[in-house]
């Protein structure tokens, strides 16, 4: 190595004097191995990772870069709501990395400039299946949670309208139907994510659940939620009451509310549930859906409503439908109108490259051909730049 | 019966000739066992000697000149493939393999297939020669390189029928494979270059069949973009594809993006194969129309159509590579007919013992 250096120096000296100095300096620099390696390590990391972990500071400058959420925050903010495959990925990689994409940055721009005196604006994230609508919603939830908003996150509204084992006739209104399991599970997760805020908010009226249980006025909402979790039969009514309280009190301005619903098209469609007499249940007969529909209305102020419309879990909708009108139907569209549509597209070239580099960095792509440009072209073609397809392909390699 | 009579008569004749007793024609019934009898006089299968073939060739040439005169052609340069060459009409058969005394000429006659075993001996002798040569080279200190594989590219060993024709002997499959293994062993040794001409006798070259698969030349549309059409089929699916140059890898099938039309990975892999094979994966745009069949056969039909369209964009070598990869061959498999007495094409009804 030294011989090479000295010969290079000699060669350098034969050239123009000033340049030779530059050359020798460069050679010396290159000779130091550590620095070389450091430079090489930092450069690829800079492309697809950012160290900015507060979504409030995510701008277009961080476009296509992955930021990681600390795992303790994930447990608190996302007890439910992350897609199943992403949860498995978190377990495998021991880190939760989300890509900052243009639709999310656009949404943050809108959220930052909301006028809380005006009625809540509805944002509808739409796009083809597998393009990242749920992940964008989770990004928004993280942002609002960091800002201190109270987050009402319904992970998948489709789960309320299908595969429900227990249906009870509501004691509050006889024509409505209760879903105790779903309601109590949701209340548990709701309490986990918003514990500190729920302790401060107080009820403004007395609620009588049944002959033995009631909640007085002025009690913290946490108590009501605990009541719903312990007594499953009253869970649906508790949910209804909680939503009513939050709506009423949010307009007063003591806290900001984010209503995040994934698959809002489930509220205005059909269900696969049947009553005892084998007649079909329509969504408004379900108490949970009825109350949530009221929540998604823009007759309250002091927050925002971010929703996604999803074909993947929907019932009786064609596979290739993704536009709002197709999935919401006339009823849903007129109910949600006016809303701000935000399209979530497939990966662009830059986003694909970022995702690909991330998988390579995590050593997720084990196939030796995956590192070659040919392999990359093959991945791009077979996934069609669709994030979900790419993730499934990468899992196979 | 007639043969026995003939045997008897012939004996009398022979005895007469041998003893040279004119007039004394005694007819004696001599019964001999077949082992003692000399069979060399019995005419075996027709044997065409060299003189016979020469005669026939001269007659053939004369007849050819007559025919040329009759047809008004020039007799000197008259060639017509329809007229059979006597060499083909009278195929070379093995000549008589034993002399008048009954002793066979070849030392391996009693093995049953003398030419085959003599060939094996020859090849082994060559092998020993090569090994001796190699030892000499090593003793001198020069180590031989490996340059033999290059000569084997583009040619193949004789097939069994060709070897049988060469040896004029029936072979079994095991015999043939043994011979080929021995030849492979000969080739595998590093100094086998010295026996190249001998080995070339056992090699046949491949015929390049590219001509069938060359497509029409490229067409150009209004913007000047080159495009080409291809058709393909598989089972009952029929597909037509138009491939445009200078594209970005966008594929539309019946107006729908290929990700939505083919949600299954296997079908998309089929679409990808022709372009990936020619290293043009993200550079072409394709518009496909397909009808009939199921999802897998539609994918196969589109793949064939794309490959055929791509022949217009590629060189002869690339087309030959595609042909060898099987991209240009239409899959002939069709649904097999259901037979009566069976539940399906192959499935039999459940067998009940009683």
A103 Cβ contact partners less than 8 Å away, ≥ 6 residues apart: A125, A136, A342, A343, A344, A345
Q: Which residue among B257, B259, B281 places its CB closest to the CB of A377?
A: B281
Q: Which residue among A377, A384, A393 places its CB closest to the CB of B259?
A: A384
- B339 located within any domain: no
* Per-residue confidence (pLDDT) for residue B6, from 0 to 100: 47
- B180 located within any domain: yes
Three-state SS sequence of chain A: CHHHHHHHHHHHHHCCHHHHHHHHHHHHHHHCHHHHHHHHHHHHHHHHECCCCCHHHCCHHHCCCEEEECHHHHHHHCCCCCCHHHHHHHHHHCCEEEECCHHHHHHHHHHHCCCCCCECEEEEEECCCCCCHHHHHHHHHHHHHHHCCEEEEECCCHHHHCCCCCCEECCCCCCCEECHHHHHHHHHHHHHHHHHHHHHCECCCCEECCCCCEECCCCEHHHHHHHHHHCHHHHHHHHHHHHHHHHHHHCCCCCCEEEEEECHHHHHCCCCCECCCCCECCHHHEHHHHHHHHHHCCCCECEEEEEECCCCCCCCCCCCCCCHHHHHHHHHHHHHCCCEEEECCCCCHHHHHHHHHHHHHCCCCCCHHHHCHHHHHHHHHHHCCCHHHHHHHHHHC
Hey, what are A394's tokens?
Answer: 């990468």
Sites in chain A below the pLDDT cut of 50: 1-2, 4-5, 8-9, 12-34, 36-44
**Which residues from B are below 8 Å from A321, CB to CB?**
none
Average pLDDT per block of 10 residues along chain B, 354 residues long = 47 45 56 64 76 88 82 67 58 72 86 90 92 88 68 83 88 92 88 82 78 73 87 93 88 92 93 92 92 94 93 87 89 93 92 88
CA distance B38 to B16: 16
Could you tell me if B178 and B232 lie in one domain? no
The H or E element spanning position B111 is none
The H or E element spanning position B193 is none
Q: Which residue among A128, A320, A382 places its CB closest to the CB of B265?
A: A382
Inter-chain contacts counted by CB atoms under 8 A, chains A and B: 32
Could you tell me if B250 and B300 lie in one domain? yes
Say if A384 is an interface residue toward chain B (CB within 8 Å).
yes
Q: How many CB atoms neighbour CB A282 within 10 A?
A: 14
Return the DSSP state at B101: T
CA distance B275 to B288: 14
B189, B208, B227: which is the final residue of a domain?
A: B208
Say if A386 is an interface residue toward chain B (CB within 8 Å).
yes
Closest listed residue to residue A101, CA positions, set A150, A129, A64: A64
- B29 located within any domain: no
State how beta strands A214-215 and A177-178 pair. Answer: unpaired
The nearest CA of chain A is from the CA of B324 a distance in Å of: 22
The answer to whether B68 touches B20, Cβ cutoff 8 Å, is no
- Check CB contact under 8 Å for A378 and B272: yes
What is the value of ipTM here, to two decimals?
Answer: 0.79
**Which residues from B are below 8 Å from A382, CB to CB?**
265, 268-269, 272
Return the DSSP state at B113: -
- Check CB contact under 8 Å for B281 and A384: no
In percent, how much of chain A has pLDDT > 70?
88
Terminal Cα-to-Cα distance of chain A (whole angstroms): 40
Could you tell me if B135 and B232 lie in one domain? no
- Check CB contact under 8 Å for A386 and B282: no
Which A residues 152-211 touch B at CB under 8 Å? none
- Check CB contact under 8 Å for B276 and A389: no
**Which residues from A are below 8 Å from B306, CB to CB?**
none
Candidates A377, A386, A391, partner chain B, best to mutate (most B CBs within 10 A): A377
- Check CB contact under 8 Å for A381 and B282: yes
The string of pLDDT tens digits covering residues B269-324 is: 999 999 999 998 888 999 999 999 999 999 999 999 999 999 988 888 888 888 88
Could you tell me if B196 and B287 lie in one domain? no
Could you tell me if B113 and B159 lie in one domain? yes
Return the DSSP state at B98: B
* Per-residue confidence (pLDDT) for residue B84, from 0 to 100: 55
* Per-residue confidence (pLDDT) for residue A45, from 0 to 100: 54
Please, which residues bridge with residue A304 across strands?
A121, A258
Could you give the number of structural domains in chain B? Answer: 2
Task: Provide residues of B within 8 Å CB-CB of chain A.
Answer: 249, 256-260, 263, 265, 268-269, 272, 276, 279, 281-282
Q: CA of A322: which chain B residue's CA is closest?
A: B260
Candidates A381, A382, A392, partner chain B, best to mutate (most B CBs within 10 A): A381
Q: Which domain holds residue B313?
A: 219-325
Could you tell me if B87 and B182 lie in one domain? yes
Please, which residues bridge with residue A286 across strands?
A177
- C-beta pairs of A333-339 under 8 Å, 24+ apart in sequence: A335/A268, A335/A293, A335/A296, A335/A297, A336/A122, A336/A124, A336/A264, A336/A296, A336/A307, A338/A122, A339/A121, A339/A122, A339/A123, A339/A124
Could you tell me if B199 and B223 lie in one domain? no
**Which residues from B are below 8 Å from A393, CB to CB?**
265
* Per-residue confidence (pLDDT) for residue B209, from 0 to 100: 67
Q: Which residue among B257, B279, B281 places its CB closest to the CB of A381?
A: B281
- B149 located within any domain: yes
Could you tell me if B201 and B223 lie in one domain? no
CA distance B137 to B341: 71
**Which residues from A are below 8 Å from B263, CB to CB?**
319
**Which residues from B are below 8 Å from A319, CB to CB?**
263
Candidates A384, A394, A395, partner chain B, best to mutate (most B CBs within 10 A): A384
Q: Which residue among B259, B260, B281 places its CB closest to the CB of A378?
A: B281
Q: Which residue among B257, B269, B279 places its CB closest to the CB of A382?
A: B269
Could you tell me if B117 and B158 lie in one domain? yes
Q: CA of A321: which chain B residue's CA is closest?
A: B260
CA distance B158 to B163: 6
- B117 located within any domain: yes
- B18 located within any domain: no
- Check CB contact under 8 Å for A374 and B282: no
Q: How many CB atoms neighbour CB B12 within 10 A?
A: 15
B144, B174, B208: which is the final residue of a domain?
A: B208
Give the 3-state secondary structure of residue B288.
Answer: strand
Cis ω on the peptide bond leading into residue A338 (within 30° of 0)? yes
**Which residues from B are below 8 Å from A128, CB to CB?**
260
Could you tell me if B252 and B180 lie in one domain? no
Which A residues 73-132 touch B at CB under 8 Å? 128
- Check CB contact under 8 Å for A384 and B258: yes
Say if A378 is an interface residue toward chain B (CB within 8 Å).
yes
B153, B187, B208: which is the final residue of a domain?
A: B208
- B41 located within any domain: no
Instruction: Report how far apart, in Å, the C-alpha atoms of B78 and of each of B58, B65, B72, B82 are.
Output: 15, 8, 10, 12
CA distance B208 to B7: 59
Lookup result for tokens 């518009």: B287
Hey, what are A148's tokens?
Answer: 């201190």
- C-beta pairs of A367-376 under 8 Å, 24+ apart in sequence: A367/A397, A370/A397, A374/B276, A374/B279, A374/B281
- Check CB contact under 8 Å for A378 and B276: yes
* Per-residue confidence (pLDDT) for residue B77, from 0 to 100: 67
Please, which residues bridge with residue B229 across strands?
B242
Give me the phi and psi of A394, to 5 degrees please: -65, -35
**Which residues from B are below 8 Å from A389, CB to CB?**
259
- Check CB contact under 8 Å for B259 and A386: yes
Say if A323 is an interface residue toward chain B (CB within 8 Å).
no
CA distance B235 to B66: 55
- B296 located within any domain: yes
Could you tell me if B204 and B79 lie in one domain? yes
Q: CA of B284: which chain A residue's CA is closest?
A: A381
Count of all residues that appear for chain A in the document: 397
Count of all residues that appear for chain B in the document: 354
Candidates B251, B254, B259, partner chain A, best to mutate (most A CBs within 10 A): B259
Q: B285: domain CATH number? A: 3.30.230.10
**Which residues from A are below 8 Å from B256, CB to CB?**
320
Could you tell me if B234 and B154 lie in one domain? no
């Amino acid at each position: 190595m030294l011989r090479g250096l000295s010969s290079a120096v000699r060669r350098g000296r034969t050239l123009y004097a000033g340049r030779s100095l530059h050359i020798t300096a460069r050679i010396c620099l290159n000779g130091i191995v550590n620095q070389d390696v450091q430079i090489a390590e930092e450069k690829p990391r800079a492309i697809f990772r950012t160290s900015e972990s507060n979504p409030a500071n995510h701008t277009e400058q961080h476009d296509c870069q992955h930021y990681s959420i600390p795992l303790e925050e994930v447990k608190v903010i996302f007890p439910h709501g992350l897609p199943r495959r992403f949860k498995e990925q978190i377990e495998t990689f021991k880190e939760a990395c989300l890509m900052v994409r243009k639709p999310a940055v656009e949404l943050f721009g809108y959220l930052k400039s909301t006028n809380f005196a005006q009625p809540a604006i509805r944002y509808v994230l739409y796009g083809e299946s597998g393009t990242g609508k749920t992940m964008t919603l989770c990004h928004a939830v993280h942002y609002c949670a960091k800002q201190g908003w109270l987050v009402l996150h319904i992970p998948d509204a489709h789960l309320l309208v299908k595969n429900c084992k227990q249906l009870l006739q509501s004691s509050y209104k006889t024509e409505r139907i209760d879903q105790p399991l779903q309601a109590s599970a949701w209340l548990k997760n709701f309490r986990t994510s918003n514990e500190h805020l729920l302790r401060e908010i107080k009820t403004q009226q007395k609620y009588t659940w049944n002959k033995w249980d009631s909640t007085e006025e002025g009690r913290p909402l946490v108590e009501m939620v605990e009541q719903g979790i312990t007594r499953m039969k009253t869970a649906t009514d508790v949910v209804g009451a909680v939503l009513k309280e939050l709506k009423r009190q949010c307009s007063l301005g003591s806290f900001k509310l984010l209503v995040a619903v994934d698959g809002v098209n489930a509220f205005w469609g059909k269900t696969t549930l049947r009553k005892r007499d084998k007649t079909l249940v329509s969504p408004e007969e379900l108490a949970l859906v009825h109350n949530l529909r009221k929540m998604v209305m823009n007759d309250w102020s002091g927050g925002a409503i971010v929703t996604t419309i999803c074909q993947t879990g929907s019932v009786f909708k064609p596979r290739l439908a993704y536009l709002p009108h197709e999935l919401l139907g006339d009823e849903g569209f007129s109910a949600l109108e006016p809303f701000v549509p935000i399209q979530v597209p497939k990966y662009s070239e830059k986003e694909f490259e970022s995702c690909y580099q991330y998988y390579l960095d995590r050593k997720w792509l084990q196939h030796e051909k995956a590192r070659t440009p040919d392999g990359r072209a093959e991945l791009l073609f077979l996934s069609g730049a669709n994030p979900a397809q790419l993730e499934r392909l990468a899992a196979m390699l | 019966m007639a043969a026995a009579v003939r045997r008897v008569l012939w004996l009398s004749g022979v005895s007469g000739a041998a003893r040279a007793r004119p007039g004394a024609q005694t007819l004696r019934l001599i019964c001999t066992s077949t082992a003692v009898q000399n069979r060399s006089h019995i005419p075996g299968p027709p044997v065409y000697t060299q003189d016979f073939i020469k005669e026939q060739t001269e007659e053939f040439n004369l007849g050819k000149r007559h025919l040329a005169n009759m047809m008004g052609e020039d007799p000197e340069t008259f060639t017509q493939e329809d007229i059979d060459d006597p060499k083909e009409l009278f195929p070379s058969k093995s000549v008589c393999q034993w002399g008048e005394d009954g002793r066979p000429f070849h030392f391996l006659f009693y093995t049953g297939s003398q030419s085959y075993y003599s060939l094996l001996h020859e090849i082994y002798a060559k092998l020993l020669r090569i090994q001796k040569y190699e030892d000499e080279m090593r003793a001198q200190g020069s180590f031989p390189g490996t340059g033999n594989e290059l000569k084997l590219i583009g040619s193949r060993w004789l097939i069994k029928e060709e070897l049988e024709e060469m040896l004029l002997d029936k072979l079994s499959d095991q015999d043939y494979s043994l011979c080929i293994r021995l030849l492979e062993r000969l080739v595998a040794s590093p100094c086998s270059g010295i026996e190249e001409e001998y080995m070339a006798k056992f090699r046949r070259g491949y015929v390049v069949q590219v001509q069938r698969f060359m497509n029409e030349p490229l067409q150009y549309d209004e913007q000047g973009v080159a495009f080409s059409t291809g058709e393909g089929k598989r089972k009952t699916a029929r597909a037509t594809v138009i491939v445009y140059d200078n594209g970005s890898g966008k594929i539309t099938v019946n107006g729908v993006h290929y990700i939505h039309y083919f949600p299954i990975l296997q079908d998309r892999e089929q679409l990808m194969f022709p372009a990936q094979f020619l290293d043009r994966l993200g550079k072409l745009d394709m518009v496909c129309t397909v009808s009939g069949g199921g999802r897998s056969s539609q994918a196969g039909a589109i793949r064939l159509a794309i490959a055929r369209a791509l022949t217009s964009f590629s060189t002869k070598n690339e087309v030959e590579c595609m042909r060898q990869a099987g991209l240009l061959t239409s899959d002939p498999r069709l649904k097999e007919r259901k037979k009566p007495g069976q539940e399906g094409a192959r499935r039999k009804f459940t067998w009940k013992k009683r």
